[in-house]
Structure 1
Amino acid sequence: MRAGAALAPRAEVLPDEVTAVRGARWVATGAVLVGVLNYGYALALTRLLDVGAYAVFAAGQGLVVCAAAVAVVTVPWMLAQALARARSEAERAEAVRFAIVTGLAGGLVAGLVVGAVAARFAGAGTTAAVAVATFLIYVTRVSSGWLQGTERLRTLGLLTTTEAVLKLAVGLFFVAVLGLGPTGALAAFAVAVLPYAFFRPRRFHGGRPRAWLSTTADRTLWRRAVGVASLQGVVAVMAAVDVILVAVLPTDRASAASYQAAVMLGRVPLFLAGAVSVAFLPALSRRRAGTPLAGDALRMYLTVAVPLTAVAATVPQAVLDRVFPAGYAQVGTLLALTAVTGLALGAFALLVTFCQAVNDYACLSTLLTGLALYVTGLAAGWSAAGVLGMAVGGMCGTVTALLLLAVRHAHRHGFGAPGEHPGGRPMAFLVLAGLLAGVLALLRPLPVAWLCAAVGVACGALWWFFGHRSEPGRGVPAGEGRAADPAPGRPPVPVPPARSGPPADEARALRLLVDAVWRGRPGPATDAELLGALAVARRNQVEGVLARAYPERLAATRAEVAAATGLFRRNLTESTTRLRAAGIPAVLIKANLSGDYVYGNFDLVVPTGSWRQAQRALAGWYVRRESYWLERSTKVLLDPASGPAAHLHTAVSWFGIPVVPTDRLFARARPAVPPNGHGADGEGSAAWLVPCPADRLRIWLAHALFQNLTLDLSELLALRELLGPAVLAEARREAAREGWAGGGGRALAVAVDAMGRLDRGEPVPLPVPLPVGTSLRVGAEHSGHLLGRGRVRTAAREASLRVPLVVAKRVRRREP
């Protein structure tokens, strides 16, 4: 079959369902790391603080967590939902202003309330630490909502992890070194949120200017904020009320501390539910009630939460005795109960998110009923059997509240269409989970055997959650691709139909791509093989070359690439013509004017001191301005109404670290000749400059070394044209002058070796990864060069960013 329609290109932007699943993995990764760090923090404090001081810390932490739980969902989730549904820049600007104002006001009120409660069991210093931490958490959650609403979930996951690392390091320093006790341990919460200040929402342009306080008159945003606060406030109270009650009720400190430690271990599912909710909320907010995506989210949560709950509920006492000091003898008995409570509470929180996503705030009455039953269970259990009875009553109350909400939700909205699940069916998964729990319970008398089984169960659950290559909608019959299920009044999000048949072999797809693109020898290919080659070509920015090798079968791709290239040339000409009219030259880097251009932006370097003037010169050309916090003083993204954006640089730099000096770049640059031979003024030269060959060679290598840590096929094609002896010699001299000749030489050797293997038809992974040693070496080499030139801050910046960059790129490379 040679149906050209079957080979029509998919949209480059992934459907938001897939974005939600992958985002949930990133946010959950952060949540798991945060949980591990928090538990490590709590365990360390059990040894650094006496039982009484630890009980004060745990109660204060419960207050902060309770207030933070409201802050985390009230301000940011309201903002995320507004950004997901907004149809104009004015609506987005209004939502951001409202979030900032309400964040400040809510933080002030919450800080005062939390401080008043903390004064009941803590001194003045500890009370002040709790109040200030609460206020700062509210204020900084605006940045969290901005990242969530724009679906920058990987950044959000990394940021939450950074917060936990800071809290651990600062808290242990305050307690162990400065001896500040529970006050220092709680003050670390305030310090840990400071990185959020680097991710402030950017300004939206559009609509008439309004005073900041006038945002409080927006009734729609108020209704949404009050509704979200009401729903999530109930969840927050349910998550923290037992920890606070056990601290203020008359009981011995050892029992209270045991209960609090058991609750912390049992609340892992709640963290996972929060991660899934954060990732899925923007996509769910664009859909009507009862969307199948809600079922995907719930199954994703249960897949990992149920096995982890089974592990937590069956921990042998011998293992707990090794972890906790002697004053925590009741943890083992309580943990079996609090683990079930945590599982039910996580599912309860996820159902509340489903209601919030479709503005079903009428479920508040059901939530309040569930909360009343939960508190009643806690009180009755306390009266009957103290701390142990409270754990039993809390478990019964949470399960009852979950059942009430689940019945209501099933009646009103349903849980979505059946999807793929471990074991193939939900019932099979439940049976499997029951068997796992039974096996772990039987192994409790054998701590070593239990530990091996528990590690296997936990790793299996986490592998399925983080590593299994499944996306929403798998299992849908071919030809019945699931629609994005839009909310009423909103346009649908197109999702391509599922294709039948097995995927093309990766090795065959690579061989087909290399023969057609690199060697210029397109061979016969089935539709499945050509689709596989097209997918690899898109990852390597050479889909246009492949399409021209198969012009009839990839006609749609040819048209797509031609349109993208035309928009690039138009935007490049328009922007550089404006700059030249303002007397500002610009050098175009990382672009081949004679070929295709399918990137979403292009890079222009302007002379030293002309960066802000260049932005003013382009003020009428772009409609949105963005900057990344690590590069806010060296690079800005200017987005026009259509087509690729212009990246305006002060230098050839990455993450604010200059590599190629701007003055030498301009001194050696040459006037560009546009592809049609006519510049902006009708003459033969264009309005922009291009680097000389030696600079072009170094910029491609530097881009791989300092940014991507890989070389894709389009970059190898560009490098192949620059490997003349004179160009290589000049490039080596300039790289030595710039302080990265060693790393540049190694990267060039990797590129040349890959080219030779491609010429011989040998298999090569595409894009070609640079060795970790090379990536680390160039960072050390270049930062040492900068340090020797007296640029201490820039050298420290590069040295501190190199290892995280290498780790992040390697993790991204393993993404499905």
Structure 2
Amino acid sequence: MPGVVAIRRNAGWLTISALIGGGLNFLYALGLTWLLPVRDYAAFAGTQALLVVCGTAAAASAPWMLSQRLARNPPPAARRDAISFAVFLTLAQGLLAALLVGALAAAIGHGSLLLAAVAASAAFSIFAATTSAGYLQGRQRFARLAVLLAGEVGVKVVSGVLLVLAGAGVAGVVAGIALGAVAVTLAAAPPMLRDLEAGVRWLRDRGLWRLLLGLSGVQVGVVVLCNLDLVLGSLLARDSAGFAGYQVAVVLSRVPFYLASSLSVAVFTGLVSRKSRTSAAMGPMVGILIASTIVVGVSVATLPLPVARVFLPHSYPSTVESLVPYTAPAGALAALTNLGTTFFQAEGRFSAACMALAVGILALSVGGVAGLSLLGVRGLAYAALGAQLLTAILLLGLAVRYWGLAVLPRPWPLAASVAALPLFVLRPLPAVWAAYSCVLCLAVGWQTLFRRHDAGDDQALPQGGRSPRVYLLTVGPISPPWNGADTNLGRALVNAEIGVSFTFLGQLGDTTRLAPEHRRIELSFATGIPTPREQLRILGRIAVEHGDYELVHMIATFGRSRLREELLWALPLIRNHPLVVTCPNGDYLPQGLLGRAREVVTVSAHTEQRLRGLGLERVRRIAPGVDLKTFRPQPAAEAQRRLGLEPRPYLLFAGHHDPGGGLDAALRLTGELRADFPGLGLLTAMRSRPGREHARERERARALAADLGLEAGSVFDLGPFADIPRALQACRAVLFQPLRVGRKMDLPMVLLEALAFGRPIIVSPVDALPELADGSPAVTVCEPGDRAALEAAGRLLDSEAAFDQGSAAARRLAECRYSATAMADAYSQLYAQVLGREAAASAARELAEAVG
């Protein structure tokens, strides 16, 4: 179950485990107040605080480093080095922690050597257990990890209670903690220890040391930022009672932080194992956290006093109530920081995360001291909230810079805020409030962690035979009426069965049948040619694209705009993924953008030579293709009837009202041919372009037709949205003799479709058009006004045998060169080669990192 959905579900099981463990710990702590004398409970609380610090330190070093290496499935030698490094680091840290905790526990226990020995054993066991858990995390055994973590608390509680009842006192409680950690180690460590290797080769692995320092630096920074306010308060607060209330409020407000910790474990492993990318995972994960935090935060903020008095001493509730409005959002922001730094750790951007954390710590240090001096405990609350907000903003800003707007959460978590509003109304009814709060927390937790919100969530790298995901980026929508070269090439790829899952832009409301593995992103377009406003809408949609793709394939005819080129490259979707660019036209070639692409594809040898002349090496030519099953020879009579035409011979010109675009040559040739074939008609399918020049050219063409004696009944304008397939069937031949191809595809699609329909074509010898010729009657290449065009068209109109011969030759040429199936197969091979190179490069980087 790869991708974001897997991360969510893994986080869900870890959260359930944490809730079970937290509930047991809470009941255990309450039970110990009855089982232990006051003096012994104070010794237990002090020793437990030491062990909590040990757990935090242990989790911030070896486990995450080990899980990162194992999740990437390294070579055996690198795996053994990582495990050996983690084990020996754990031994060193565990022994040091045991000595320190043992000494401090002896002081807390008034010289009790038994408590010191048990506390030292517990400290060492905690380090061993966290590294063992890190091994399971790296091997992605999350269900087993969740069971073990809940089981650890169970063993601790049962053994601790039994030992206390047996008369062991505080030492028995601490021994229970040690036994719980030992249980995790015994269950998880044996497979890990089988890969343990003697020797110190791992000491020379600089990659492991860099990884350890980076991960430890970030996690220590998170711990410091989240606890510095409590440290400052304990040292500087003059109002002890008020600060005690602040501590309780902070504890209640930190519930989202533990959810973020569960999410972080699953997110980190999912990202470093390449099952998902940050650009795809961060938005949904932050959304999950926000949705859950809203419910928990509102529950804490509206906590009724009668409910608070159930588990708080009588002197606390009023103080807690006054501080929760500040500690609750601070706790939510701390959770966001905890989760946010995970993405930076997974991507290896340790310095950026540490910088943001350092700014937050500095702000909290200065603000906390000033706040305590001026406003007391409330000033400390203000400073903590401000520092957490500043840090979260910095992290999100850096995330947008690195991975784009897709990292921002979708608006659906705001629904949780609506569902939480009744808690304010139900506050005077404590029993109803408690029931609704519990149901709401469970419902939101289930919805966010175990239900699927978005079809794009489960988008991951291909594993185990899954088809690669390709974002097919075209200028216009891949939808009817199929007016552009990019959309027609895109249609051929989407319709082909080449084992690729395409995501592409389509017209809103398009009902064209689509294979289930593909995804159409629907936008509204006025025509097949996007207006400037629609182009901005396309850029905006791409900018927030959150899907996880292996490849981006751009099919575009480029204009002379350096700004647009830089804007395209700035899009995270393009910048952060391997890019393949198909250039249907060689009129303008943006060398900077094409130079960054993994592969550049042309449709003609003409443009291929130009690109190689610019110094580009990874260039290949793939001939464009048409669907030979759809475009096949048909009698002209039926098509003429459906177009409302009289049954007579026609020629076809399809293009634009561009200067030198070929319409003039078609009109003149038709005028000359009508001397011998007075019933001849010319069909024109003229696509619109915005601007006055287009209108002027249209009027000039009408004047030229009148000058040539082509009355209204001889030239038939089929309009900008002409049914091109029927127009091709209705004609005898297609004329296209421009002075330059301009921004049309080097080998215009209408000419390829004409060949597939068995209609010969007459073209001019400009740009790539001569490449169409194969020496058969299918293609005539000559200058506009040349006698050869008149003779070729005359033969096709005069002789059925000549037309049949030309038609058969045209069909053979299309089958030989311009099959959509052959084109799709060529792109399938290209995708495989590019992805293969990417995989090899990634493996090489990981190997280099593994060996230092």
Aligned to 1:379: 369
Amino acid paired to 1:158? V
Aligned to 1:444: 427
1:27 aligns with 2:31: no
Partner SS for 1:449: helix
Cα drift, residue 294 of structure 1? 2.3
1:324 aligns with 2:301: no
Give the fraction of aligned pairs with identical amino acids, expressed as a percent. 31
Amino acid paired to 1:484? L
Aligned ranges for residues 174-253 of structure 1 at < 5 Å? 178=167, 180-181=169-170, 185-196=173-184, 197-202=186-191, 211-243=198-230
Cα drift, residue 388 of structure 1? 4.8
1:281/1:353 contact within 8 Å kept: yes
Cα drift, residue 195 of structure 1? 1.2
Cα drift, residue 160 of structure 1? 0.6
1:562-585 deviation digits (Å, cap 9, x = unpaired) = xxxxxxxxxxxxxxxxxxxxxxxx
Measure the CA separation in 2 of the matches of 1:271 and 1:284: 20
Amino acid paired to 2:287? R
Measure the CA separation in 1 of the matches of 2:105 and 2:229: 15
1:107 aligns with 2:107: no
Aligned to 1:656: none
Aligned ranges for residues 56-67 of structure 1 at < 5 Å? 57-58=44-45, 60-67=47-54
Measure the CA separation in 2 of the matches of 1:226 and 1:362: 11
Aligned to 1:359: 348
1:711-758 deviation digits (Å, cap 9, x = unpaired) = xxxxxxxxxxxxxxxxxxxxxxxxxxxxxxxxxxxxxxxxxxxxxxxx
Measure the CA separation in 2 of the matches of 1:38 and 1:231: 28
1:67-95 deviation digits (Å, cap 9, x = unpaired) = 31232242111111101123312211111
Partner SS for 2:191: coil
Amino acid paired to 1:191? L
Measure the CA separation in 2 of the matches of 1:335 and 1:371: 21
Measure the CA separation in 2 of the matches of 1:113 and 1:342: 31
1:154-212 deviation digits (Å, cap 9, x = unpaired) = 0000111011222333444455663735x654453322211122211526999xx9633
1:108-152 deviation digits (Å, cap 9, x = unpaired) = 334455567778877455666555433321122221111111110
Aligned to 1:44: 31
Aligned to 2:303: 315
1:27/1:153 contact within 8 Å kept: yes
2:81/2:201 contact within 8 Å kept: no
1:143 aligns with 2:127: no
Partner SS for 1:86: coil
2:44/2:174 contact within 8 Å kept: yes
Aligned to 1:810: none
Aligned to 1:429: 413
* Alignment partner of 1:401 out of 386, 391, 397: 391
1:334-393 deviation digits (Å, cap 9, x = unpaired) = 444433332211111111110110111112122122122234444344434554544443
Aligned ranges for residues 659-698 of structure 1 at < 5 Å? none
2:232/2:368 contact within 8 Å kept: no
* Alignment partner of 2:400 out of 405, 410, 417: 410
1:474 aligns with 2:455: yes
Partner SS for 2:390: helix
Aligned to 1:157: 146
Residues 254 and 186 of structure 1: CA distance in aligned 2, closer, same or farther (over 3 Å): farther
Partner SS for 1:325: coil
Residues 203 and 464 of structure 1: CA distance in aligned 2, closer, same or farther (over 3 Å): closer
Measure the CA separation in 1 of the matches of 2:39 and 2:390: 33
Measure the CA separation in 2 of the matches of 1:484 and 1:143: 28
1:304 aligns with 2:292: yes
1:290/1:415 contact within 8 Å kept: no
Partner SS for 2:451: coil
1:294/1:415 contact within 8 Å kept: no
Aligned to 1:454: 437
Measure the CA separation in 1 of the matches of 2:351 and 2:118: 36
Residues 21 and 341 of structure 1: CA distance in aligned 2, closer, same or farther (over 3 Å): same
Aligned to 1:791: none
Measure the CA separation in 2 of the matches of 1:160 and 1:456: 25
Cα drift, residue 96 of structure 1? 0.9
Measure the CA separation in 2 of the matches of 1:247 and 1:170: 33
Measure the CA separation in 2 of the matches of 1:370 and 1:66: 21
* Alignment partner of 2:71 out of 80, 84, 95: 84
Amino acid paired to 2:429? L
TM-score with structure 1 length normalisation?
0.51
Measure the CA separation in 2 of the matches of 1:48 and 1:252: 31
1:334/1:391 contact within 8 Å kept: yes
1:90/1:205 contact within 8 Å kept: no
1:37/1:168 contact within 8 Å kept: yes
Aligned to 2:155: 166
Amino acid paired to 2:461? A
Aligned to 1:68: 55
Aligned ranges for residues 387-786 of structure 1 at < 5 Å? 387-414=377-404, 416=406, 425-426=410-411, 429-430=413-414, 432-470=415-453, 474-475=455-456, 482-484=459-461, 494=467
Gaps of 5+ in 2: 472-512, 518-852
Cα drift, residue 260 of structure 1? 4.1
TM-score with structure 2 length normalisation?
0.49
Partner SS for 2:28: helix
Measure the CA separation in 1 of the matches of 2:284 and 2:90: 31
1:766-792 deviation digits (Å, cap 9, x = unpaired) = xxxxxxxxxxxxxxxxxxxxxxxxxxx
Cα drift, residue 243 of structure 1? 4.6
Residues 179 and 111 of structure 1: CA distance in aligned 2, closer, same or farther (over 3 Å): closer
Amino acid paired to 1:42? A
Structure ID, larger Rg? 2
Matched length: 470
* Alignment partner of 1:93 out of 80, 105, 109: 80
1:575-622 deviation digits (Å, cap 9, x = unpaired) = xxxxxxxxxxxxxxxxxxxxxxxxxxxxxxxxxxxxxxxxxxxxxxxx
Cα drift, residue 26 of structure 1? 1.2
Partner SS for 1:291: helix
- Taking only aligned residues, the RMSD between alpha carbons, in angstroms, comes to 3.9
Residues 349 and 383 of structure 1: CA distance in aligned 2, closer, same or farther (over 3 Å): same
Cα drift, residue 446 of structure 1? 3.0
Measure the CA separation in 2 of the matches of 1:485 and 1:354: 21
Cα drift, residue 408 of structure 1? 2.3
Measure the CA separation in 2 of the matches of 1:186 and 1:325: 26
